Chain A
Amino acid sequence: MAEVRLVGLRKSFGRTEVIHGIDLRVEDGEFVVFVGPSGCGKSTLLRLISGLEEATSGEIWIGGREVSQVPPAKRGVSMVFQSYALYPHMNVYRNIAFGLSLAGASRADLDARVRAVAEKLQIAELLERRPRELSGGQRQRVAIARAIVREPQVFLFDEPLSNLDAGLRADTRVEIARMHDELRATMIYVTHDQVEAMTLADRMVLLNDGRVEQVGPPAELYRQPRNLFVAGFLGSPRMNLLEVQSGEGGLLLPGGGSIAHSGELPRGQLTLGLRSEDLHPTSGEGVLRGEVTLVEELGETRLVHLRIGDGQSVIFRHRELPGPRPGDRIALDADPERALLFDGNGERL
């Protein structure tokens, strides 16, 4: 097992730089998830750690060893690919055994290890099959078995669940979490799916355009986003962002409502962030008032879209029955402790 440390890591393809100097420390045994919009450099970063891409500059430390010049197979990392990348011409047994046999493992040792891993992943009956004779979920298990059998110090996953259907995805997610508990290995996992990221991660690394926006436990990124990008990226529906004016004793909201605010605030225009679950209907005055334009029924709760004037609207989560209807006029209260404020540069105050 090992920690992974990235120091000033940069990567350019031709003249375009796609990773702009990343510093990061992944603790031994930690489950870290890289998340971010498509094209932000998640895969590239993972491939730099694996050695499939060579860094333009910077250092990569795995288990106290600088590995920039070490070939992929000797870095003590295993990778699970998005497409599984099983060898189509080999049966499951040989797929799992390939790396061990190249490393020169003895026959008996190899056989024992392959069978033990197959047992653990419940694919022991499939060992003679070819990949094309397996279902998507089974291929996924074989790909994971192939990664485990080499007993790496660090596991790398590149969107391993994106080719599975929804039900299987949830199951496999739980299984990967359990595998991490069992193996206690360092795992770095790439996904663009924030549910996957939030549920699996000890810590999340939110990337944007080749830079780290914020690193921390999922709840921290969700509750205390450092800036507007993080606030907007996490959470579904997206956080409500309102243009507000700060003045004497509080914030002036669109539609005339106001929120008291203690502490120093810069004067002028700010952005107020409120999550859908932090807004509640009230029979009183409320801080926001408007007309319901759309109700999205989710079963347990429903998302209500409210037009609050000035062309702005908010979405809040409604729990009680009966739900509102389009055209209804509603007033909302907000949790002042939960409200987030961002300055003109998008940084949180």
Chain B
Amino acid sequence: MMALARALAFRLLVAVLLVYLLFPFYYAVLTSMKGGSAIFSVDYWPRQIDFSNYARIFSEQPFALNILNSVLVAFAVVALSLLLGLTAAFSLGRIRFRGRSALLFAVLAVSMFPQVAVLSGMFELVRAFGLFNSLLSLVFSYMIFTLPFTIWVLTSFMRELPREIEEAAIMDGAGPWTLIVRIFLPLLWPAMVTTGLLAFIVAWNEFLFALTFILSNEQRTVPVAIALITGGSEFELPWGGIMAASVTVTLPLIALVLVFQRRLVAGLTAGAVKG
């Protein structure tokens, strides 16, 4: 009896949690399939399946191009963050030099500032490098979010790896680059997947920099494009379209997480790389 009651209570708790986590997304999907004034009636079950909102976001603005921009930026950010993160982790985790922990904390300190605080400074940098209104400005600026945690996570994983493995490779004739690519990269793969995915999500969802550094519709990334979707008149907020766009751009994230699910779990349970 007790066991049954406890099992039931547990199920109930899980159900409550799931509803809490999934309801907003569910409601967005629901709204995205409503047309016209049906938007303003509150429904909890789909009454009609209407994909016209989805069709419209692609026809009324360069939304496909915006998605492509986001994909380009996100992949570039992930690739660069992982490359820089791994090489930085190698030196911070493995090589003894003066000021190593100071450097590590400086990296962490960067991520403590709120985004608005660095906005104007970043704007000056972007202009100085001539990157204004270019996707490169986003790749460049997003790394101040992604590099700190990438470097920290990879460095702590790197420190967990037994030193003798690295030394065995050195005895086998591996130079620093071979070490990184043939030994550390495969061993840190779970951590790389986790941090890479987080970096992807950051880059995919970022709004403020994307709004500030990009002027033209053709260069915009998805979050800004969604915010700028306009309705039939200036008095109409096109909720249906906004929801359709949001759902569209969330699906790739869900797909990514599902694909890397097992690696992700392995990466989150730190220290799982010992041989």
Give chain A's interface residues, CB within 8 Å of chain B.
50, 52, 72-74, 77-79, 81-83, 85-89, 98-99, 102-103, 131-132, 146, 150
Cross-chain pairs A/B with CB under 8 angstroms, 18 sampled: A52-B171, A73-B172, A85-B164, A85-B165, A85-B167, A85-B168, A87-B165, A87-B275, A88-B275, A89-B187, A89-B275, A98-B169, A99-B173, A102-B174, A102-B178, A103-B173, A131-B275, A132-B275
- Which residue of chain A has the shortest Cβ distance to B189 in the bound complex? A89
CB distance from B87 to the nearest CB of A (A): 19
CB distance from B275 to the nearest CB of A (A): 2
The binding surface of chain B is classed by DSSP as helix
Cβ-defined contact, B173 with A83, below 8 A: no
CB distance from A246 to the nearest CB of B (A): 52
- Which residue of chain A has the shortest Cβ distance to B168 in the bound complex? A85
B186 within 8 A of A: yes
List 7 A-B pairs, minimum CB-CB distance, nearest first.
A88-B275, A73-B173, A99-B172, A85-B164, A85-B168, A89-B186, A102-B173
Cα A270 to Cα B4 with chains together (Å): 81
Cβ-defined contact, A88 with B187, below 8 A: yes
Cβ-defined contact, B170 with A72, below 8 A: yes
Given contacts A85-B164, A86-B165, A87-B275, list 12 more A-B pairs with CB under 8 A. Answer: A77-B171, A81-B167, A83-B164, A85-B165, A85-B168, A88-B274, A89-B186, A98-B174, A99-B172, A102-B173, A132-B275, A146-B172
B119 within 8 A of A: no
- Which residue of chain A has the shortest Cβ distance to B182 in the bound complex? A98
Cα A89 to Cα B185 with chains together (Å): 10
B257 within 8 A of A: no
- Which residue of chain B has the shortest Cβ distance to A143 in the bound complex? B168
Cα A78 to Cα B170 with chains together (Å): 11
Cβ-defined contact, B173 with A87, below 8 A: no
Cβ-defined contact, B171 with A73, below 8 A: yes
Cα A102 to Cα B169 with chains together (Å): 10
Contacts across chains A and B counted by CB atoms under 8 Å: 61
B253 within 8 A of A: no
CB distance from A94 to the nearest CB of B (A): 10
- Which residue of chain A has the shortest Cβ distance to B178 in the bound complex? A102
Q: Which chain A positions have C-beta within 8 A of B170?
A: 52, 72-73
Q: Are A81 and B275 also in contact (CB < 8 A) when A88-B187, A89-B186 are?
A: no
- Which residue of chain B has the shortest Cβ distance to A86 in the bound complex? B275
B162 within 8 A of A: yes
Q: Are A88 and B178 also in contact (CB < 8 A) when A52-B170, A83-B162 are?
A: no
Cα A220 to Cα B168 with chains together (Å): 35
- Which residue of chain B has the shortest Cβ distance to A80 in the bound complex? B168
Cα A150 to Cα B171 with chains together (Å): 10
Cα A322 to Cα B244 with chains together (Å): 95
CB distance from B272 to the nearest CB of A (A): 11
CB distance from B58 to the nearest CB of A (A): 44
- Which residue of chain B has the shortest Cβ distance to A156 in the bound complex? B171
Query: Which residue of the partner chain, among B164, B182, B275, contacts A82 with CB atoms under 8 Å?
Result: B164
Query: Which residue of the partner chain, among A78, A79, A87, contacts B183 with CB atoms under 8 Å?
Result: A87
Q: Which chain A positions have C-beta within 8 A of B174?
A: 73, 98, 102
CB distance from A225 to the nearest CB of B (A): 34
CB distance from A43 to the nearest CB of B (A): 11
Encoded as 1 (CB less than 8 Å from any A CB) or 0, chain B from 171 to 199 comes to 11110001000110011000000000000
Cα A87 to Cα B170 with chains together (Å): 12
CB distance from A302 to the nearest CB of B (A): 42
B84 within 8 A of A: no
Cα A132 to Cα B170 with chains together (Å): 22
CB distance from A81 to the nearest CB of B (A): 5
CB distance from A82 to the nearest CB of B (A): 7
Q: Which chain B positions have C-beta within 8 A of A146?
A: 168, 172
Cα A52 to Cα B167 with chains together (Å): 7
B273 within 8 A of A: yes
- Which residue of chain B has the shortest Cβ distance to A74 in the bound complex? B173
Q: Which chain A positions have C-beta within 8 A of B162?
A: 83, 85
Q: Which chain A positions have C-beta within 8 A of B171?
A: 50, 52, 72-73, 77-79, 99
Cα A77 to Cα B168 with chains together (Å): 12
Cβ-defined contact, B168 with A79, below 8 A: yes
Cβ-defined contact, B273 with A81, below 8 A: no
Cα A146 to Cα B169 with chains together (Å): 11
Q: Which chain A positions have C-beta within 8 A of B178?
A: 102
Cα A83 to Cα B183 with chains together (Å): 17
- Which residue of chain B has the shortest Cβ distance to A47 in the bound complex? B167
Q: Which chain B positions have C-beta within 8 A of A78?
A: 171
Cα A87 to Cα B169 with chains together (Å): 8
CB distance from A195 to the nearest CB of B (A): 24
Cα A87 to Cα B187 with chains together (Å): 9
Cα A78 to Cα B174 with chains together (Å): 14
